[in-house]
Amino acid sequence: MKNQTKHTDESGPQTVTEFIKVQNGQETIQIGFTNQKISAHAGLSTFASYLHWHRFKYRLKACLPVRTSPNALAAEDLALGFISGILAGAKKLAHVAYLRRDPLVAGLLGIEAVGSQSSFSRFFQGFKTGQQNSGCFEPLWQWGLERLASRPGGYTLDLDSTQLLHEDAHQKEGVRTGHTPRGYKRCYHPLLGMVAEAKLVAGFWLRPGNSRCDNNVVAFTHELLRRLPPSIRLGLVRADSGFCYESWLEMLEARRLAYIVVGRIYEPVRHLIKNMTRWQRTELAGTEVAEEIYEGWNWSKPRRVVLLRHLQSRRPQAGGKLLLDCPGYVYQVLVTSLPLTVSALEVWRRYNQRAGSENIIKELDASFALPQLCLTKFYATEAALSLAILSYNLCVLFQRHLGWMHRVTASTLRFLIFTTGGVISQSGGYTTIRLAVPKGPDRQWWRGLLEKITCPFRNCVAVEQRPASTGL
């Protein structure tokens, strides 16, 4: 930086008081200050309009605990400010509080103000029990599911667990040493339920990092199934090996729900694989299948078990486990209640579609602050994480409202819509926002976007996902 000499331009607008000259390598640029109201997040007006259209503030007010302090911000105001902060890219409560500087966000959301870091901290510390969290957030999970239309073939419910690493959080409740893909680390070990076709999260439970994989999976699944609206019929339930548990399988069978779950490769299963002689080739070069009606893992009855092995030299990217007794292959074990009319290879293919839910978890980690949010109290952390995940759901439902068939990530939405700047003024008795959008296709696209958001008819014409000028 050169020539940092202050210079006042008396001929400039009254809001500009002084300039600092800097060099960009080609020319001198003058940088000054203005008192004019300008928002870096004027594009959030689209999302705020969507929330107002659904009267979401009043739904929050009906679910969240009432704050008794006369000077405290209302719970629904804090929740809306937190959701907007997450959508704007915040990773911590302090990041969310930075939105207080924006002159537009509170007015867009219809709230008194965006909370400070301490306000958010006190708000989440008010969540003290799992029962309180379930009672608060269950209507909000259910509200999102009610936005889905019924499907002839039903929906697929994917269940999974993940690890949220917090190696330096030694004083935080629930952060315990547990097994993670990076070895034994201090973490949380939460459960998630996801509707695969809609890419929507149906529920979330936080667990301590040292929890067993099958800890609370039956109660968690019971809660998920209870909150599904009548219009949502399940065609299939999929889960990883942490759910391969007799009580969980019995529960699904009692409800006559079809399932595919990864089987744990214990010694009896290793023996079964080692002595299996009826391997059949498939149309996939290097992949062979076999199946048995097998009673294992302390089951009360035999069940259908599908075995797969992938030749590493032909399918180096295939997932599975290596067995020392059977070198050269990686093995997978799937337990299913699907009828024999569904081939073993088709069972495997249906399970592999679960990769979409893995992508949901990756996006929650990357764009919705799941690995970063960690408060002192365990249930306060669960409440903050639940609200962050509900922000993800609102992002998905917002895109469905726009008629977008293919979902884009939150980071794309931020660059495309939410972080569009704007100038705020008063004109004709109205608060006026002038978006910083160049003339041409971009303005036409934005006009269509705003008309779609404010249209009272849900089946109005969908908006293109990107302006034509982006070339994407």
Q: How far apart are CA 382 and CA 133, in angstroms?
A: 8
Asked if 421 and 435 touch (Cβ cutoff 8 Å), the reply is yes
Q: State how beta strands 183-188 and 38-39 pair.
A: unpaired
- The predicted pLDDT at position 34 comes to 85
Helix axes 44-53, 378-401, angle to 10 degrees: 90
Sheet holding 38-39, edge to edge: 38-39, 422-427, 430-435
Condensed to tens digits (0 to 9), the pLDDT of residues 41-74 reads 999 999 999 999 999 999 999 999 988 888 899 9
Question: What type of residue sits at position 399?
Answer: Q
Domain ranges of the chain: 6-35, 262-336, 413-470
Residues 6+ apart with CB under 8 A from 227: 138, 141, 142, 145, 202, 203
Other CB atoms within 10 A of residue 205 CB: 23
276 in Cβ contact with 318 (< 8 Å):
no
**Residue at 7: amino acid letter:** H
Cα distance between residue 8 and residue 13, in whole Å: 11
Segment 354-394, tens digit of pLDDT:
988 999 999 999 999 999 999 999 999 999 999 999 999 99
430-460 burial code (b ≥16 CB/10 A, e <16):
eeebebebeeeebeebbebbeebbeeeeeee
The Cβ-side half-sphere exposure at 144, using a 13 Å CA radius, reads 26
Query: Would you state the pLDDT for residue 6?
Result: 47
Rg of the chain, C-alpha, whole Å = 26
Q: CB of 203 within 8 A of CB of 141?
A: yes
CA distances (Å), 347 to each of 245, 289, 322, 332, in order?
A: 19, 11, 21, 12
Tell me, letter by letter, the H, E, C secondary structure of the chain: CCCCCEECCCCCCCCCCCEEEEECCCCEEEEECCCCCEECCCCHHHHHHHHHHCCHHHHHHHHCCCCCCCCCCCHHHHHHHHHHHHHCCCCCHHHHHHHHHCCCHHHHHCCCCCCCHHHHHHHHHCCCCHHHHHHHHHHHHHHHHHCCCCCCCCEEEEEEECCEECCCCCCCCCCEEEEECCEEEEEECCEEEEECCCCEEEEEECCECCCCCCCCHHHHHHHHHHHCCCCCCEEEEEECHHHCCHHHHHHHHHCCCCEEEECCCCHHHHHHHHCCCCCEECCCCCEEEEEEEECCCCCCCCEEEEEEEEECCCCCCCCCEECCCCCCEEEEEEEECCCCCCCHHHHHHHHHCCHHHHHHHHHHHHHCCCCCCCCCCHHHHHHHHHHHHHHHHHHHHHHHHCCCCCCCCHHHHHHHHHCCCEEEEEECCEEEEEECCCCCHHHHHHHHHHHHHHCCCCCCCCCCCCCHHHCC
CA atoms within 13 A on the CB side of 319: 10
Per-residue pLDDT of the chain (472 residues; tens, 9 = 90+): 444 444 444 444 445 457 898 988 888 998 888 888 999 999 999 999 999 999 999 999 999 998 888 889 999 999 999 999 999 999 999 999 999 999 999 999 999 999 999 999 999 999 999 999 999 999 999 999 999 999 998 999 999 999 999 999 889 999 999 989 889 999 999 999 999 999 999 999 999 999 999 999 999 999 999 999 998 999 999 999 989 999 999 999 999 999 999 998 887 888 888 777 689 999 999 999 999 998 877 888 999 999 999 999 888 888 888 876 778 889 999 999 999 999 999 999 999 999 889 999 999 999 999 999 999 999 999 999 999 999 999 999 999 998 888 889 999 999 999 999 999 988 788 889 999 999 989 999 999 899 888 876 665 667 888 776 555 4
Cα–Cα distance measured from residue 425 to residue 422, given in angstroms and rounded to the nearest whole number:
10
